[in-house]
């Protein structure tokens, strides 16, 4: 029944022209009913931590990107002074999500990352899960599905009209954008499916052109087990010219291996950290030792490891750095739980004190996903999603005042009965009222309500504007 419903939705959007590409813009009116969500057309896992940033605050406006109907990319904006919402507008058409005969109806790997260049043009990278063989040979990995795409607004800071460019590799997934102080743009992603190198492409002309992909994490065949080395990094701005990377290791087992009858499973272990000095072009570990690129599993274990986690499974590393240059690194950790990748895991947090990695006391944290912001040498804020035993989904902020060694719950930012939440990474350069994007999870539904969450909770919107599907 659910599959038939999705097919009907797909037919509606493809053949009847149902879309959300409508100029929805107005200030709050006194007679409008206000709701906590800004749109109801989030699709599948509409946002995630790995594809980031999903939002950016720039010149008084927060811009938000997420996965909408048929896995296409949508962008919304909110003006914090005038309280005016605009959008959602369809910013990019994915090559995924259009085939009703595909066994896996929603791929979810092509969610958009967003960036604003120094000329105020808005960019999104989206749509890929490794590319397909018809796109040609992938010299740095293998193929799977979709096509990595890059779309740019046709006018500065205008989300209404977009152009898709052919200037990045089509063999990408898990797009992550970074802009440096000098305007250089870095696009990080995995160059193919699981058995592929992780790479970056650099632009020095506001995204008009990009350099060829440069590998920084190496996939390769193992000799001791029927598997290949694979990786899941999370990339962010560090201090100065540095880019910081936290990552975990994926043992990509053969689908027909004899050592585990389950074949290929989402098994990940360990936690690592390294730094890319974009000024010198050198990669180094936390102790300032040089690393050979692309990094292999052997050198990562020797020079870049934060902690070994050989038995439990990890999921989705993340990192931030304090003003003194001491990094904080986190990852979800839990038992071998198969496809349930986040719900049964608890965040582990580590901080470098200049000599060693110190593990925080996070035993009081509920199981669920979270992202953190290091505000000073002593203060860290953790934004956490979890679902209680009585099926109440919650987004809460936990604060640490001892450099992340322990956390205390401060406030609940969003709470809904009979639902859970998917969270984005923190918005780039966030306004206090808009820290992150949240997609509501309700069992049996493909479409998700989307929330913009800040220190005061959700930014509200007129229900007439927020009910995009009805439009």
Closest among 152, 143, 222, 231 to 188, alpha carbons compared = 231
183 Rama sector, left if φ>0, alpha if ψ -120 to 50, beta otherwise: left
Closest among 146, 138, 67, 66 to 102, alpha carbons compared = 146
Closest among 66, 67, 68 to 77, alpha carbons compared = 66
- Cross-sheet strand order for the sheet of 357-359: 313-321, 327-334, 346-352, 357-359
Q: Could you count the other beta carbons within 10 Å of the beta carbon of residue 146?
A: 26
Report how far residue 398's alpha carbon sits from residue 383's, in angstroms, rounded to the nearest whole number. Answer: 6
The residue annotated as part of the active site, out of 52, 109, 150, 328, is 109
Does the annotation count 57 as an active-site position? Answer: no
- If DSSP codes are grouped into helix, strand and coil, which group holds residue 297? helix
Which tokens hold the place of 141?
Answer: 């990995």
Does the annotation count 145 as an active-site position? Answer: no
* C-alpha to C-alpha distances, 375 to 235, 272, 347, nearest whole angstrom: 18, 22, 19
- If DSSP codes are grouped into helix, strand and coil, which group holds residue 159? coil
Closest among 270, 366, 370, 262 to 314, alpha carbons compared = 270
Report how far residue 10's alpha carbon sits from residue 99's, in angstroms, rounded to the nearest whole number. Answer: 9
Report how far residue 193's alpha carbon sits from residue 216's, in angstroms, rounded to the nearest whole number. Answer: 16
Which tokens hold the place of 405?
Answer: 């060694």
The residue annotated as part of the active site, out of 174, 186, 249, 451, is 174
Which residues form the catalytic set? 109, 174
């Amino acid at each position: 029944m659910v599959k038939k419903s999705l097919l009907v939705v797909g037919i509606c959007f493809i053949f009847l022209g149902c879309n959300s590409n409508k100029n929805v813009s107005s200030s709050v009116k006194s007679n409008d009913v206000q709701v906590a969500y800004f749109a109801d057309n989030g699709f599948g896992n509409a946002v995630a931590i790995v594809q980031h940033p999903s939002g950016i605050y720039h010149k008084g406006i927060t811009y938000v990107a997420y996965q909408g109907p048929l896995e296409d990319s949508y962008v919304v904006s909110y003006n914090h002074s005038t309280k005016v919402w605009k959008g959602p507008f369809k910013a990019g058409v994915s090559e995924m999500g259009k085939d009703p005969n595909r066994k896996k109806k929603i791929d979810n790997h092509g969610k958009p990352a967003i960036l604003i260049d120094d000329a105020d043009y808005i960019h999104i990278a989206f749509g890929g899960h490794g590319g397909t063989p018809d796109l040609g040979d992938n010299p740095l990995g293998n193929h799977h599905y979709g096509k990595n795409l890059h779309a740019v607004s046709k006018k500065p800071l205008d989300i209404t009209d977009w152009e898709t460019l052919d200037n990045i590799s089509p063999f990408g997934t898990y797009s992550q954008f970074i802009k440096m102080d000098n305007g250089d743009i870095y696009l990080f992603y995995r160059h193919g499916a699981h058995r592929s190198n992780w790479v970056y492409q650099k632009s020095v002309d506001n995204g008009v052109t990009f350099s060829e992909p440069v590998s920084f994490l190496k996939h390769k065949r193992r000799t001791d087990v029927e598997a290949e080395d694979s990786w899941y990094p999370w990339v962010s701005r560090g201090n100065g010219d540095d880019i910081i990377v936290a990552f975990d290791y994926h043992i990509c087992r053969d689908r027909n291996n004899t050592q585990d009858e389950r074949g290929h499973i989402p098994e990940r272990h360990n936690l690592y950290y390294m730094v890319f000095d974009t000024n010198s072009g050198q990669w180094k570990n936390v102790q300032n030792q040089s690393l050979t690129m692309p990094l292999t599993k052997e050198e990562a274990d020797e020079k870049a490891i934060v902690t070994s986690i050989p038995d439990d499974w990890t999921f989705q590393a993340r990192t931030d750095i304090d003003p003194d240059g001491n990094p904080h690194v986190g990852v979800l950790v839990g038992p071998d739980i198969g496809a349930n990748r986040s719900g049964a895991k608890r965040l582990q947090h580590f901080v470098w004190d200049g000599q060693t990695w110190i593990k925080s006391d996070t035993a009081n944290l509920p199981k669920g996903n979270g992202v953190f912001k290091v505000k000073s040498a002593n203060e860290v804020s953790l934004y956490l999603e979890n679902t209680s035993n009585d099926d109440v989904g919650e987004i809460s902020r936990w604060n640490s005042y001892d450099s992340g060694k322990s956390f205390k719950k401060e406030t609940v930012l969003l709470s809904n009965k009979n639902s859970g939440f998917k969270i984005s990474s923190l918005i780039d350069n966030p306004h206090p009222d808009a820290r992150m994007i949240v997609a509501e999870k309700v069992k049996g539904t493909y479409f998700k309500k989307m929330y913009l969450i800040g220190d005061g909770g959700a930014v509200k919107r007129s229900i007439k504007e927020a009910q995009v599907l009805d439009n």
